[in-house]
Structure formats: C-alpha cells, structure tokens
Amino acid sequence: MLDQYTIRLIRAPLKLLSAFPDKLGITANQVTVVGFLFGLCALPALILEQYLWALAFIIINRIFDGLDGAIARRQGITDCGGFLDITLDFLFYSLIPFGFVLANPEANAVAGAFLIFSFIGTGSSFLAFAIMASKRNIESPVYKQKSLYYIGGLTEGTETIACFVLFCLFPQYFAYLAFVFGTLCWITTATRIWAGYQTLK
C-alpha cells in the first residue's frame, strides 16, 4: 500500500549512492547477494534473542535491496537480476518469522507458521500475476522501473519491513503482531486474486 510513496522518497538518495559502486564496477547482482548474506545474519541473531542486532541486519539487507535496483537502472535491468532479487527477497522475508519461532518455539511457533503461510499467499499471487502479465505485455502504471509487474495491496514491502522492525523492538508481542499482520496479508492475497483475475479476464 505504501510502496509507491516510499519508492519516490528513497529514489533520489539511492540514485546518488549507486554511483559509487557503479564506478567501481560492482554489479547489481553482487549487491543483491551481499545484501542477502547480511540478511542471513539476522537468523542466528534472532535465535540468540539479540533482537537489536537482528534489526541492524534487517535494515542493512533492505538498504542493499534498494541499492541493487538503483545500480541495475544504471547498468541495465536484466531478467536474471530480477529473478535473483525476488527469489532472495522471498527467502529473507520467510527467514525472519522462522528466526522468532526458533528463538521461542512454545510462544511463537503457531503465529510464525501462520505468518509464513500468509506469505505463501501474498507471494504466489504476486508471482502468478507477474507471469501472466508478462505473457500479455501488461505494464505497471505505478512501478514502471521494476523488472516484474505486480499488483499492489494492503501489505507490500514497506509494511512488511515496518512489521519486522516492530517484531525486533517488541519481541514479547511477536505472536500478536504476527497474527495481525498475517491476517492483513490474507486480505492482500484475496484482493490480488480478485484484481488479477478481473484484469486477465
């Protein structure tokens, strides 16, 4: 829901920041992989209940995720880059609730499973429409510089990261937050299925 606004907000600073790695010959795909490795570090931090460290790794991952797109726009957007970016993003998104489950299985297991289950809904509706839109040469009126055309929703990247921040700042409320956010994700999935079906029909 908020991605279209946050993208406009961060586009200029990311464009400036991307000039330096571009001059050094660093590719967008390299930045994607390094960012993902930082994101992976959030898992042991969560298991050890070092939530502020986990938050730091989450923020670094998201900075790199924005930076790789800015570099790609300088060097040329590629299908392999888009594939790598979205695949590692989905793995990272699922990794965070999994880390909370491992940190406290008794309190967090059901809520974490429900959230990952809801991510399957948002992710599959996201990718299924992108595939069909690509076949029909349908372009996004909002996210014109993305490698994939996807339907927005109540829970997008901005809302997901905001939720992860809340998880790390208030880990004792993980289960409640996960159930609430997971429910919002299912609303997003339902609206995407309806809108995608109507668009393709």
Token code pair at residue 143: 């996210």
CB contact at 8 A, 130 and 148:
yes
Q: How confident is the model at residue 9 (pLDDT cuts 50, 70, 90)?
A: confident
pLDDT band at 120 (very low <50, low <70, confident <90, very high): very high
Whether the Cβ atoms of residue 7 and residue 145 lie closer than 8 Å to each other: no
Q: Domains in the chain and their CATH numbers?
A: 3-200 (1.20.120.1760)
Residue 143: the pLDDT is 44
Give the active site residue among 65, 68, 85, 89.
89
Using alpha carbons, select from 122, 121, 146, 120 the residue that is nearest to residue 133.
Answer: 146
167-185 residue pLDDT tens: 999 999 999 999 999 999 9
SS (H, E, C) 115-160: HHHHHHHHHHHHHHHHHHHHHCCCCCCCCCCCCCCCCCCCCCHHHH
3-state secondary structure of 113: helix
pLDDT at 200: 83
Does the annotation count 3 as an active-site position? Answer: no
What is the average pLDDT value for the chain, to the nearest integer?
89
pLDDT in tens, 17-55: 888 888 888 999 999 999 999 999 999 999 999 999 999
